């Protein structure tokens, strides 16, 4: 199981619980499965909409990948563990003033791609 200690500082409590379920599963899950897992042994069960909102928010942050599974969406973690989420988070939030990147975000247009390909072949 992935290390959970660092997740609480990057994710909210419920977000960390959702991520723990998905990491344990090791495969994409639909919201209903996550709700069932979260509510197992819980005194006050979580509402379906609450969990769905949390998972949508995690997908919006780029922490979960969403894919269609029949008529529903299945969610899978993009990061392998809490440490990876933390690194990605600080790079995004803090990185601009404290680091130099190999390549910036770029929409690689076809002409630029062709020029690079030509350079590769010529050399």
Partner 1 sequence: MRRKLSLPAAVSCWVLLFAAVVAHAALAVLAVAEFAALGWPLPTWFDTTAVTLVLASAIAGLAASGRMALRATADSRAVRVVIQAGRRPVPPVVRNEAAVLGCAGRLDVVAGEEAFAVTYGLMRPRILVSTGLAAALTPAEVGAVLAHEREHLLRRDPLRLLAARLFAAWGCYLPAAQWLAGRAALRRELAADRAAAGCAGRGVLAGALLKLASRPTCPVVAAASPAGEGHQSLEARVTQLEAGRPPRQSPAVTRLAASAGTLTLLAPAFLCCAALSHLMPGGLL
- Segment contacting partner 1 by CB under 8 A, of 22-30, 34-42, 44-52, 115-123: 115-123
- Segment contacting partner 1 by CB under 8 A, of 16-24, 28-36, 43-51, 90-98: 90-98
Q: 73-98: b or e for each residue (b if 16 or more CB lie within 10 Å)? A: bbbbbebebbeebbebbeeeeeeeee
71 vs 101 by CB, closer to partner 1: 101
**Neighbouring-strand partners of residue 67:** 74
Residue 63's alpha-carbon distances to 7, 30, 48, 75, in angstroms, are 12, 15, 20, 10
- Residue 81 engages partner 1 in binding (rule: CB under 8 A): yes
- Residue 94 engages partner 1 in binding (rule: CB under 8 A): yes
Interface residues toward partner 1, by CB under 8 A: 6, 61-63, 78-81, 83-84, 86-109, 112-113, 115-117, 119-123
């Amino acid at each position: 199981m992935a290390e959970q200690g660092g997740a609480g500082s990057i994710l909210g409590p419920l977000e960390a619980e959702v991520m723990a379920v998905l990491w344990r599963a090791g495969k994409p899950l639909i919201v209903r499965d996550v709700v069932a897992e979260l509510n197992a042994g819980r005194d006050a069960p979580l509402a379906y909409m609450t969990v769905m909102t949390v998972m949508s928010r995690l997908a919006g942050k780029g922490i979960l990948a969403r894919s269609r599974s029949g008529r529903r969406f299945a969610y899978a973690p993009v990061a392998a563990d809490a440490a990876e989420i933390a690194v990605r988070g600080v790079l995004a939030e803090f990185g601009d003033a404290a680091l130099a990147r190999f390549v910036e975000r770029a929409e690689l247009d076809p002409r630029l791609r062709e020029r690079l390909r030509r350079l590769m072949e010529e050399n």
